């Protein structure tokens, strides 16, 4: 047992998060606001980033292994799979395999259907999510009279993952312009962020859409589900608890070579610095995990 494993194993059971990178951090922040008395441990599986380019079978195996690693080192009371594709592909098997509850993430199609029941719904997502029939299934269930406009933007994931805190506001806006132009050209009535990474640039996208088109994510809905699963609904939003903040340190664990300061070129160096800054921004202690052999 490593010193990290030993220290976590003796602590109160945290709420665990798993993603290939930083996509789930806004979800963690909102959950922490609602449950400030809880501890949180976030596992960024940089070793296998990005999940969206993998096959379904590969994603399922990767996520199972990532959760097994998180369970081994942190003994979480529950796990949030903070990735749309990973949730769809792996949640059923995770629930069969582990004896703890899981909360998944899916695109906010249901509220989008309520906002534009007869309109056009734009979904900004990775190629894997765009290709997956589950988005079309959600449309059929929750927005059967709405038109669907799928806009693949997988290249944005890498930029957000490696340069979110390093890029200037102009650079972020320039990167988003092409996707925003496609959504405007398609005359969408509402936009759904179909990748958790995109929640980091929600405000910038809204600016490019001139604040005329609602941009929806699933942060609030997922956070409320975390509260329900934890059984702390009575404490959600309690001002006294929120003011006090978390009682103990929350952790950001990062797997893979790019979690450490090793030679690896500009991209790897950007990712390392981006993670360092994000740990400060989200008030997390950054720890690098050695790859499991």
**The predicted structure's pLDDT at residue 281:** 95
Start-end of CATH 3.40.50.1860 domains in the chain: 3-105+220-289, 109-217
Tokens, residue 118:
């007869």
State the Cα angle at 83 between 244 and 110, rounded to 5°.
90
Fold of 3-105+220-289: Rossmann fold (3.40.50)
Output DSSP code: residue 54: S
Catalytic site residues? 83, 195
What CATH architecture is 109-217? 3-Layer(aba) Sandwich (3.40)
State the Cα angle at 173 between 167 and 177, rounded to 5°.
135
Give pTM, 2 decimals. 0.86
d(CA 157, CA 273): 17
Tell me the three state secondary structure of residue 12: coil
Query: CA dihedral in degrees (25, 210, 147, 83; nearest 10)?
Result: -10
Q: In what order do the strands lie in the sheet with 120-125?
A: 147-152, 120-125, 190-193, 215-216
pLDDT < 70: residue spans in the chain: 1-11, 232-248, 257-269, 289-293
**The predicted structure's pLDDT at residue 71:** 95
Nearest Cα to Cα of residue 235 among 37, 5, 20: 37
**The predicted structure's pLDDT at residue 219:** 96
């Amino acid at each position: 047992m490593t010193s990290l494993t030993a220290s976590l194993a003796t602590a109160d059971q945290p709420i665990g998060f798993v993603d290939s990178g930083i996509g789930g951090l806004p979800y963690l922040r909102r959950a922490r606001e609602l449950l400030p008395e809880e501890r949180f441990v976030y596992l960024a599986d940089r070793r296998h980033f990005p999940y969206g380019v993998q096959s379904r079978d590969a994603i399922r195996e990767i996520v199972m292994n990532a959760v097994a690693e998180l369970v081994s080192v942190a003994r979480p009371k529950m796990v949030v799979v903070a990735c749309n594709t990973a949730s769809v592909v792996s949640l059923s098997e995770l629930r069969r395999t582990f004896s703890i509850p899981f909360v998944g993430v899916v695109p906010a199609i249901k509220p989008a259907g309520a906002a534009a029941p007869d309109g056009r719904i734009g979904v900004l997502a990775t190629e894997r999510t765009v290709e997956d029939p589950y988005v079309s299934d959600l449309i059929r269930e929750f927005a059967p009279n709405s038109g669907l406009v799928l806009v693949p933007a997988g290249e944005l994931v890498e930029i957000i993952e490696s340069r979110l805190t390093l890029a200037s506001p102009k650079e972020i806006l320039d990167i988003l312009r092409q996707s925003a132009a496609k959504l405007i050209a398609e005359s969408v009535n509402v936009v759904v962020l179909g990748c958790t990474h995109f929640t980091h640039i929600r405000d910038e996208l809204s600016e490019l859409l001139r604040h005329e088109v609602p941009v929806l994510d699933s942060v609030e809905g997922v956070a409320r589900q975390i509260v329900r699963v934890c059984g702390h609904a009575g404490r959600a939003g309690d001002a006294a608890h929120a003011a006090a903040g978390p009682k103990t340190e929350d952790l950001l664990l990062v797997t893979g070579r790019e979690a450490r300061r090793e030679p690896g070129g500009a991209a790897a160096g950007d990712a390392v610095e981006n993670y360092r800054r994000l740990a400060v921004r989200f008030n997390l202690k950054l720890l690098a995990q050695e790859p499991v052999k």
